[in-house]
């Protein structure tokens, strides 16, 4: 059985529906704002690793809570809206996965503080790749409704950083399991795994972004 071909909704039809049921909220702008704030949070996480790793990540916790609240507000508005610029499930999932990127970053910082784990090379490399990837996602989300070429380039670049996170994680775990079992080893395994989860959230975000932009018609008549 041949796969079902995905078709785009004709732009004229979308314009008619929008005229009858106007969009109440600018979801593209809201997603772009969330992406920018997520990038700000991941950048703060990397700065915390570089300069404040021995301290409680209070500032990171505040921005994580703010972005959580922003996401919940977006979800409520999504439920109130009849018309959306693209598939509402994609809007919901994109917002949720971006939230997970920052959530796992904050969880990593909290674990490091509570477990007294100092940053090492794998932690810094994974966090640095996560920051680069989140930057590409933010650029792609910002361009969703206007420049598909820019979005596709952002997706390609983000996927390179995802591979970096995965490769670094695998090599770090290989080295870790080659050492005697100590409490420090067990703590680092937990930290590495949370960064791996953050990379997984980044990958899911990129996949949803790709799916969403494929369905957006930027053409004319």
* Residue 6 predicted with pLDDT over 50: no
Domains by residue range for the chain, with CATH: 25-214 (1.20.58.220)
DSSP state letter for 95: H
Q: Phi first, then psi: what are they for 118, rounded to 5°?
A: -80, 145
Average pLDDT over residues 83-87: 70
Q: Which residues of 24-33 are buried (b: 16+ CB within 10 A; e: fewer)?
A: ebebbebbbb
Question: Which residue matches tokens 């959580």?
Answer: 68
What digits encode the pLDDT tens for the residues 143-196?
A: 988 888 999 999 999 999 999 999 999 999 999 999 998 999 999 999 999 999
Q: H or E segment at 92? A: helix 88-115
CB atoms within 10 A of CB 37: 19
Check: CB of residue 101 under 8 Å from CB of residue 201.
yes
Half-sphere exposure of 95 (CA within 13 A, CB side): 25
pTM value is: 0.85
């Amino acid at each position: 059985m041949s796969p079902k071909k995905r078709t785009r909704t004709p732009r004229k039809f979308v314009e008619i529906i929008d005229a009858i049921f106007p969009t109440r909220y600018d979801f593209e702008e809201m997603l772009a704002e969330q992406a920018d704030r997520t990038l700000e949070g991941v950048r703060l996480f990397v700065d915390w690793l570089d300069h404040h790793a021995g301290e409680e990540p209070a500032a990171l916790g505040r921005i994580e809570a703010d972005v959580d609240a922003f996401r919940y507000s977006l979800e409520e508005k999504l439920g109130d809206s009849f018309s959306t610029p693209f598939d509402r499930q994609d809007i919901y999932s994109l917002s949720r996965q971006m939230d997970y990127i920052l959530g796992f970053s904050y969880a990593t910082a909290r674990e490091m503080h509570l477990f007294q784990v100092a940053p090492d090379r794998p932690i810094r490399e994974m966090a640095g790749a996560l920051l680069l990837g989140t930057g590409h996602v933010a650029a792609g989300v910002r361009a969703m409704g206007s420049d598909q070429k820019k979005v596709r380039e952002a997706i390609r670049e983000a996927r390179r950083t995802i591979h970096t996170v995965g490769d670094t994680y695998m090599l770090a775990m290989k080295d870790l399991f080659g050492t005697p079992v100590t409490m420090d080893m067990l703590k680092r395994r937990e930290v590495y795994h949370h960064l791996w989860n953050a990379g997984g959230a980044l990958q899911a975000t990129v996949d949803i972004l790709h799916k969403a932009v494929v369905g957006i018609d930027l053409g004319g008549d």
